[in-house]
Each structure stands twice: as structure tokens, then as C-alpha cells.
């Protein structure tokens, strides 16, 4: 019998162990649990992390995440109010607010995710179709204020933009609010919801690209002809400046010369008019040598020079 | 089972002495396995978040650390000084260290779905383009590639508040980049406001992540390549070329202008200066002439008759030798009879 004691001990210990393992459970800081007794929930969900106890074998523990979880929707093609077809991809963040309700209505996350898909897709669709594309793309009218102070550089990139009243921020907030009320029934709190991506559908995108291309081509053409325009303008300016410079210089030079002429004339006049007769006499005499060089001169004897030729006393 | 139960004396088969040996093995095993889970190492760039029975207990600093064994305490190592990087619209070919996150089966399925979606969304296109292609506020399309860098500022929050933090950071980064770009014109996005967009996304992303209590600090949002879509690129390049062409033409025109105008200005200056020279000359000459006249007048007035005659004769001195032919005629004679005709060569000329 002696040798039976340790064996018995092992059996007892392992039985105790099995019971303990079956009645103790750990709740991680990221988890919460719902305890059920033959499928019937016992008490509320337990959120406090740590070591907990339950009735072994009878009670069962279902663990749920307590953290914020991701929901990433399927992109869906939705027409906007202005008949533009876009792909909208929405993402959200949620957590299990009421684990018991969540457990009862959805049971597990797979179901939850697909339920969220259905709910969000419907609500997103409802809202997107109500608004024009600019409302969904933009949040503010910043662009319009900007375009009023635009410079002409890159003018081809300026497109008419329409004023928005609601905007993306507000639309996503509305979707979030609506969806939040719906998912509450599943014990889910929707924390955030955002439009992750918006994209034109292929047909629209092709048209948009075509528009961008044609606008660019037009802009390129415009730039080229602007270049030629500026060229002509500069050449014109050059001709003008050239004529201005030369004519002004001519004008100034003539003025200077004229003034000098006038002054000289005045100086001569002042001097010579003191004795015009002497002036005429002197100036005339001075010119004779040059003028009469190589000339034939016929002098009569009554000239002053020859008068003495005839007689001494004239 | 039925057979085993009456056979309770199973230990009867091994000899009595072996029983303490089994106990020894069990005890040794327990000690070794315990020691193995007793110590753990925290690297220099990490902290250890320790949980006791799942509940947060403490944060352990780098070094060799101890915890209670047998799964009573568990530890998660979180890199707090590491700067994590996420790329959007492209991937660095040699993938760097990836952030470690506890992925659950459902997460993986989920991201599998997501990837499949992605393919649908792209219509078979480049999945990176799906990340980077976005609508601008003026309803154009731009391809924006960017990176974000972040650090974990609160390891406890990071560990417990949110599942799959990395995907949340990625999703929100995309959503907010599109939100910000959606409020800009393509012109702003392509050219002027790259930095500003980065700052704005960083600020808004931080706000959102803080509202989740994610425990990360966004260090940087940096826009990388920002381009028009491939289909549109050639025409955009054409615009750039045209702009350069325009600048070139204009520069050439100015070059021509600058070549001609300064020269003309110089010539004009020259014209004016020479006119001024003329003026100086003219006036000085006049002054000189006047002075000379005045002086000779003064002398003349002292003895007018004599001076006059003298001047006359002096003139004749100069004139007479230079004359080719001189003819003298009596004033009483009416015909043109030469008194003297000494110049022989002249006859030839006359003929």
C-alpha cells in the first residue's frame, strides 16, 4: 500500500489541476469576456483584465477584443448627384461597446465585419448620391479664395471651381452619425469613419484625362504664342527706344549748336557793329588774297592803287 | 479504461526506487522551464510592457529583466526609439525592418480581402497607384507619393488601445492626405504647397490618432514624387517645354534689345558731346574774332586814314604776286586795250 500513496497523490493533484484550469481564466488587457452557462449569459461582460474565476465545466467564456478595431470597406462605384461615377472606399474604426449584445447579435468578428460592410455601404451610398462631386472632394472653399488672387503662371491649371456648401468633412460626419446609430444595436461603437479613397471610374477618368490633356495643349500653344507676342513687343520697344534715343540726341545736339551759333552771332554782331565800315573794309581786304589767287585782274588807272601811276597828286 | 481502473497498482510495475527519480525529473523540469520564462532581455531601443495575468503591471527599461514565470507575467517588447516609416504609392525595394504587430487570423483574412478589393478597385492596375492617385479640389487627378515617419510615444497605449496600429496609421494617413489634397488645386499640389500639405497632413493625422489613443507621434509627413498621371504627363511636359521656349524667345529678344540700345545710347551721347564741342569751338572762335576786331579797331581809330591805306597796301602785297594776269587800263580809255600782257602761257589758254 505504501507505494500507492504517491500515485494517488499524482491523480488527486492532476484532478485538482484540471478543475483549476477549467475555472480560472485570464483576461488580457486587450480583451473582454462574456461568461455563459449552458449558452445563457451570466452577468454582464467582464472588462477588467486579470485572473478571474468561473464555475468549471458548467460556465464557458467567450473572449472579445476590447481594442479599437479596423473596418475597411469594399470600394463601391457610386454616382454622385451630378451624375459622376466614382469609386468610394471608406474606412472606419470601431470597438465592441456592449460585448453581450455583440455576442448575441453577431457572435463573432467575421459576422460583425460583414454586417458593418452592409451597413456602411448602404449609408455611404445614400449620402454620396445626394451630393455633387465637388462637395465630396473638397471640405472648404479655400480654392475659390485662392483663385481670386491667382497669378497667371500655370494659368492652364486653373479650372472653374464651384462653391460648396457641405463639404467632405461634413458629409463623412453625417455618414458617421447615421451609421453610429445603426451599429449601436449590435453593441458596436463606431469611433470614426473616413473616406479613404475616391477615384473616378474608368470612363470618367478617361474624360478627365482628356480634358487635362487638351487644357495643357491649349496652354502650351498659348505660352508659345505669348512668347512670340512678347518677342514682337520687345522688338517694337527696341525700335521705339532706338528712334527715341537717336532723335533726342539729334534734337539736343542741334539745340546746342543753334545756341552756340546764336551766341557767336551775338558776339560778332556786338563787336563788328562798333564800326561796320571798318569791319567791311577789313574783312573784305582779308578775303582778297585767297579769292583773287590766279585771277586775271583788270585795273583802271583811276583805282587807288594806280592813281599814282598817272600823277602824284590826284 | 474499464481495464485500467482496477489496475490501479500501475506503479507496481516499476521498482519502488524509481519513484523519487521521477519526482526529481519533474522538479528539475519545472525549475528549468521556470528559469527560462523568468528572465528576459529588453534591447536598448525597446521597453517591455509587462502584464500580470493579462493586466498591465509595469513598463520595463532596457537590460536584463525578471518577471514571474509560468505565464503569470508576460512581456511585450515595443520599440520606442525606433523611427517607423510607412511608404505610400511606392515601396523601397529592400524592405527595412517592419514594425512588429500581433496579427490575428481574422486580421490576416481581412487584409487578404483588402488586397483582393484593391485589385478590383484598380481594375487590374498598379496597387501602389491606388494609394497615390487622388482627386484634387479642382477635380483633376494627381499622383502623390509620400512617406510618414512616426515613433511610439506611449508604449502602453500602443500595446493595448488599438488592434493593428500599423494598418490604422496607414488607412488614416491615406484618408487625410486625400482630405487635404482634395482642398487644393492641382497647381498647388504639383508645385507650390508640397511642404504645407505635409505639415497639414501631419497635424491632422496626429489629431486623429490621438483621438484613438494610439500612442504614436507622427514625426514627419514628407511628400515625395508628385506628378500628374502618366496619361497626362506628356502634355504637362509639353507645357513646361513651351514655357521654357517662351522664356528662351523672350530672353533672345531682350538680348537683341540689350545689344542695340546701349550702343545707340552711346552714339547719342557722342552726338551730343560733339555738338557741345562744336558750340565751344564756335563761341571761342567768335570771341577770338571779336577780340581781334576790337583790338584792330582800336588801333585803326588812332590813325584811321593811314591805317586804312596801309591795310590796303598790305593786301595788295599779298594779292599781286599771286595773280595770274594783271591788266592795267587808263580810266579815260573806253575800250578794253591791255596795257601790259606779259604772260605768254596765257595765250595758249585763250586759244
* pLDDT tens by residue, B57-82: 888 888 788 777 777 888 888 888 88
Average pLDDT over residues A24-41: 85
Label residues B12-32 b or e (16+ Cβ within 10 Å = b): eeeeeeeeeeeeeeeeeeeee
- pLDDT value of position B101: 33
- Strands of B55-60's sheet, edge to edge? B55-60, B46-52, B73-79
* Residue B243, pLDDT score: 86
A184 versus A150: the higher-pLDDT residue is A184
What confidence score (pLDDT) does residue B331 get? 66
Contact at CB, A278 and B300, closer than 8 angstroms: yes
Strand partners, A27: A50
| Lowest-pLDDT range of B96-105, B140-149, B267-276 | B96-105
pLDDT, greater one: B282 or B19: B282
For B329, the closest of A143, A272, A298 (CB atoms) is A298
Which pLDDT band, with edges at 50, 70 and 90, does A93 fall under? very high
Q: How distant is the Cα of B207 from the closest Cα of chain A, in angstroms?
A: 12
pLDDT of residue B93: 60
Comparing CB atoms, the residue among A29, A68, A138 nearest residue B137 is: A138
From A191, A223, A257, residue closest to B239, measured CB to CB: A223
Average pLDDT on B284-288 reads: 92
Q: Is the pLDDT score of B103 beyond 50?
A: no
pLDDT band at B199 (very low <50, low <70, confident <90, very high): very high
B199 contacts B218 by C-beta, under 8 angstroms = no
Q: Are B168 and A70 in contact (CB < 8 Å)? A: yes
Under 8 Å between Cβ of B215 and A67: no
Give the mean model confidence (pLDDT) for residues B335-340: 53
Calculate mean pLDDT across residues A151-179: 76
Q: How far from A125 is each of A170, A213, B182, CA to CA, in Å?
A: 15, 31, 20
Cβ distance A220 to B238 less than 8 Å, yes or no, reads yes
Would you call A194 and B328 a contact, using CB atoms and an 8 Å cutoff? no
A202 neighbourhood in chain B, CB within 8 Å: 123
Mean of pLDDT values over B308-333: 79
Q: Taking 80 as the threshold, does the pLDDT of residue B265 lie above it?
A: yes
pLDDT at B351 over 50: no
Indicate which of A258, A260, A314 best probes the interface with B, i.e. most B CBs within 10 Å of its own CB.
Answer: A260
Least confident of B166-170, B199-203, B316-320: B316-320
Task: Report the residue from A109, A209, A294 with minimal CB separation from B106.
Answer: A109
Question: What integer pLDDT is reported at residue A274 of this predicted model?
Answer: 87
What are the tens digits of pLDDT across the range A271-301?
888 888 888 888 888 888 888 777 777 777 7
**What is the spatial distance between Cα B73 and Cα B6, in angstroms, rounded to a whole number?**
42
pLDDT at A123: 92
Q: What is the ipTM of this complex?
A: 0.73
Pairing of strands A31-37, A85-96: unpaired
Q: pLDDT at position B173, please?
A: 93
Average pLDDT over residues B145-168: 90
Residue B124 has pLDDT above 70, yes or no: no
Q: State the CB neighbour count (10 A cutoff) for residue A102.
A: 25
Q: What is the CA radius of gyration of chain B?
A: 56
State whether A200 and B141 contact (CB < 8 Å): yes
More confident residue, B341 or A243: A243
A58 min Cα distance to partner chain B (Å): 22
Q: Compare all CA atoms of chain A with the CA of B252 and give the residue at the minimum distance.
A: A231
CB contact under 8 A, A212 and B235: yes
Residues B191, B200: contact at Cβ < 8 Å?
Answer: no
Distance from CA of A103 to the nearest CA of B (A): 17
pLDDT in tens, B217-263: 999 999 988 888 888 888 888 888 888 888 888 888 889 888 888 99
pTM: 0.68
Residue A113 reports pLDDT greater than 70:
yes
Across the strands, what pairs with B87? B147
Whether the pLDDT of residue B335 is over 60: the answer is no
Q: Do A6 and B19 touch (CB under 8 A)?
A: yes
Query: How near does any CA of chain B get to the CA of A68, in Å?
Result: 5
Q: Which H or E element spans position B170?
A: helix B165-181
CA distance A196 to chain B (A): 4
Reported as a single tens digit per residue, the pLDDT across A123-133 is 999 999 999 88
CB contact under 8 A, A138 and B10: no
Confidence of residue B96 (pLDDT cuts 50, 70, 90): very low
* pLDDT value, residue B270: 92
Give residue A177's pLDDT: 93
| pLDDT at position B278 | 93
Residue A44 has pLDDT above 60, yes or no: yes
Amino acid at each position: 500500500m505504501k507505494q500507492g500513496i504517491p500515485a494517488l497523490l499524482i491523480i488527486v493533484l492532476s484532478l485538482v489541476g484540471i478543475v483549476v484550469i477549467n475555472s480560472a481564466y485570464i483576461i488580457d488587457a486587450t480583451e473582454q469576456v462574456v461568461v455563459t452557462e449552458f449558452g445563457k449569459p451570466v452577468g454582464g461582460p467582464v472588462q477588467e483584465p486579470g485572473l478571474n474565476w468561473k464555475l468549471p465545466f458548467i460556465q464557458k467564456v467567450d473572449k472579445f477584443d476590447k481594442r479599437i478595431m479596423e473596418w475597411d470597406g469594399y470600394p463601391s462605384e457610386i454616382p454622385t448627384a451630378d451624375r459622376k461615377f466614382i469609386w468610394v472606399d471608406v474606412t472606419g474604426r470601431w470597438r465592441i461597446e456592449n460585448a453581450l449584445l455583440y455576442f448575441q447579435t453577431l457572435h463573432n468578428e467575421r459576422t460583425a465585419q460583414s454586417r458593418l460592410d452592409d451597413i456602411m455601404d448602404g449609408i455611404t451610398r445614400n449620402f454620396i448620391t445626394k451630393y455633387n462631386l465637388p462637395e465630396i472632394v473638397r471640405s472648404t472653399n479655400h480654392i475659390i479664395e485662392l483663385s481670386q488672387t491667382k497669378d497667371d503662371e500655370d494659368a492652364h491649371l486653373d479650372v472653374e471651381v464651384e462653391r460648396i456648401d457641405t463639404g467632405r468633412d461634413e458629409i463623412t460626419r453625417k455618414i458617421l452619425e447615421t451609421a453610429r446609430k445603426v451599429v449601436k444595436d449590435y453593441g458596436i461603437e463606431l469611433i470614426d469613419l473616413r473616406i479613404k479613397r475616391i477615384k473616378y471610374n474608368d470612363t470618367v477618368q478617361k474624360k478627365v484625362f482628356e480634358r487635362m490633356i487638351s487644357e495643357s495643349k491649349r496652354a502650351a500653344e498659348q505660352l508659345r504664342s505669348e512668347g512670340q507676342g512678347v518677342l514682337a513687343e520687345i522688338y517694337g520697344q527696341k525700335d521705339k527706344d532706338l528712334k527715341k534715343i537717336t532723335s533726342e540726341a539729334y534734337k539736343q545736339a542741334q539745340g546746342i549748336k543753334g545756341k552756340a551759333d546764336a551766341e557767336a552771332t551775338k558776339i560778332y554782331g556786338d563787336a563788328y557793329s562798333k564800326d561796320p565800315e571798318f569791319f567791311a573794309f577789313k574783312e573784305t581786304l582779308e578775303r582778297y588774297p585767297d579769292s583773287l589767287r590766279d585771277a586775271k585782274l583788270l585795273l583802271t588807272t583811276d583805282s587807288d592803287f594806280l592813281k599814282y601811276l598817272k600823277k602824284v597828286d590826284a | 479504461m474499464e481495464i485500467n481502473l482496477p489496475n490501479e497498482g500501475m506503479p507496481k510495475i516499476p521498482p519502488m526506487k524509481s519513484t523519487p527519480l521521477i519526482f526529481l525529473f519533474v522538479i528539475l523540469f519545472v525549475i528549468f522551464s521556470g528559469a527560462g520564462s523568468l528572465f528576459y532581455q529588453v534591447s536598448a531601443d525597446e521597453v517591455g510592457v509587462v502584464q500580470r495575468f493579462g493586466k498591465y503591471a509595469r513598463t520595463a527599461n532596457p537590460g536584463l529583466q525578471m518577471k514571474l514565470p509560468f505565464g503569470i507575467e508576460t512581456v511585450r517588447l515595443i520599440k520606442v526609439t525606433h523611427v517607423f516609416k510607412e511608404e505610400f504609392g511606392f515601396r523601397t525595394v529592400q524592405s527595412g525592418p517592419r514594425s512588429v504587430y500581433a496579427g490575428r487570423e481574422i486580421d490576416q483574412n481581412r487584409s487578404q480581402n483588402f488586397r483582393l478589393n484593391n485589385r478590383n478597385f484598380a481594375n487590374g492596375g498598379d496597387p501602389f497607384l491606388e494609394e497615390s492617385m487622388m482627386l484634387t479640389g479642382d477635380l483633376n487627378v494627381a499622383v502623390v507619393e509620400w512617406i510618414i515617419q512616426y515613433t511610439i510615444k506611449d508604449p502602453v497605449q500602443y500595446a493595448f488601445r488599438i488592434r493593428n496600429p500599423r494598418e490604422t496609421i496607414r488607412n488614416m494617413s491615406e484618408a487625410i492626405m486625400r482630405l487635404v489634397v482634395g482642398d487644393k488645386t492641382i497647381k498647388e499640389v504639383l508645385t507650390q504647397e508640397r511642404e504645407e500639405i505635409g505639415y497639414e497632413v501631419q497635424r491632422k493625422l496626429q489629431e486623429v490618432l490621438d483621438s484613438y489613443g494610439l500612442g504614436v507621434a507622427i514625426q514627419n509627413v514628407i511628400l515625395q514624387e508628385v506628378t500628374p498621371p502618366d496619361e497626362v504627363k506628356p502634355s504637362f511636359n509639353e507645357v513646361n517645354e513651351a514655357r521654357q521656349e517662351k522664356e528662351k524667345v523672350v530672353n533672345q529678344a531682350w538680348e537683341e534689345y540689350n545689344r542695340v540700345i546701349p550702343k545707340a545710347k552711346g552714339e547719342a551721347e557722342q552726338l551730343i558731346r560733339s555738338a557741345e564741342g562744336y558750340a565751344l569751338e564756335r563761341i571761342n572762335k567768335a570771341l577770338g574774332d571779336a577780340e581781334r576786331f576790337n583790338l584792330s579797331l582800336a588801333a585803326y581809330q588812332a590813325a584811321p586814314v593811314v591805317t586804312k591805306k596801309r591795310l590796303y597796301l598790305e593786301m595788295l602785297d599779298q594779292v599781286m604776286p599771286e595773280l595770274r594776269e594783271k591788266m592795267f587800263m587808263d580810266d579815260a580809255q573806253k575800250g578794253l586795250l591791255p596795257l601790259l600782257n606779259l604772260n605768254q602761257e596765257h595765250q595758249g589758254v585763250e586759244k
